Structure 1
């Protein structure tokens, strides 16, 4: 089976589009992605990316114009009978390696840690799902010694409202998203920096359509 998706992103300063085609090849998925930079001013390799994925095990991404490889390996182990999901990511181009782990305590509680090797960039996140509809996520950045907060609420089944606040940058974000298998997904977001004198919001709208062929 072949699946395709088309994504459009609109901002007051610019607009961008992207398309992805995925093909199932046994236990593997093959993907090719392009952006508007690939076709503007004639076909080119700009914005072209290729990927091989074995769901739940690994993803290998290749950025064609940058000649850059990105490896991602996933595994799940049991800790005190609880699933610990581990993800190892290495980008060859910038020699950046990240280890991400999330321990699922129960259906409402999850603890996550994200660490970039060779740096003090370590983040701890606690996720609490209340009543199956409201999610609260405090995030502590060890390197910056700062807190970030996120609060989301699912309404009307397909709609999600989300608010975020970054204490280090004093950036406040609001987002509304809707996901539907029939009509695709749409997301509208606004962010404002409370530290700036002119608190002008930055607006962004995204929409994605998925197709099966």
Structure 2
């Protein structure tokens, strides 16, 4: 069994916590996750979710308080000898279907698309990794007719910094994260809305602890 505990703190809000427990059953994983809402007013089903997963094949999520199923199917095909990773996601409650596709051109270049069926919600994303240390990700949102940009760089073996900008909302973001099995995982982020005057950045910190039992 594997467990993960995540804590999050926003300066302008209260702290929050979440936990996930995963049990391996052969080719399948059974996962249960909870948030702090489950215990705010005493033990309840609020914030409880269950999932059945076959890695690389499918995931079935069940939101207990909403009684909502979400189905996700994953497949990989080859286009001109390049792998195309496809994901089909359907949520029963809101009858929403999302298609994701990522075409891996080589180790440094990827092209991906995210499309919500029967809507104009489509995002096109290009990923470029320069020497494995700096990544550039421009993204075009067809529904908003706007571009988003992000640049990230590794500053050490486990640490990286990332800057992003959303042109539609004029939102600037900065993030420092660490993903290490030895030193733990954390993320500190700050966002600033450039469309508003004299506004302080919103700062949040998030940390994750992983356990094997």
Matched ranges for 1:1-213 at <5 A: 2-12=1-11, 13-213=13-213
- Structure-2 separation of matches of 1:41 and 1:105: 50
Q: How many residues align?
A: 212
- Structure-2 separation of matches of 1:67 and 1:183: 38
Q: Deviations over 1:50-89 (max 9, x none)?
A: 0000000011110000101111110000000000000011
CA contact (8 A) 1:193 1:199 kept: yes
- Structure-1 separation of matches of 2:115 and 2:180: 33
Using the TM superposition, name which of 44-53 and 193-202 deviates more.
Answer: 193-202
- Structure-2 separation of matches of 1:29 and 1:162: 32
Q: Output the aligned Cα RMSD.
A: 0.7
- Structure-1 separation of matches of 2:5 and 2:191: 25
- Structure-1 separation of matches of 2:80 and 2:200: 49
- Structure-2 separation of matches of 1:142 and 1:121: 6
Superposition TM-score, scaled by structure 2 size: 0.98
- In structure 1, runs of 5+ residues without a counterpart are none
Superposition TM-score, scaled by structure 1 size: 0.98
Measured after TM superposition, the shift of residue 48 of structure 1 is 0.5
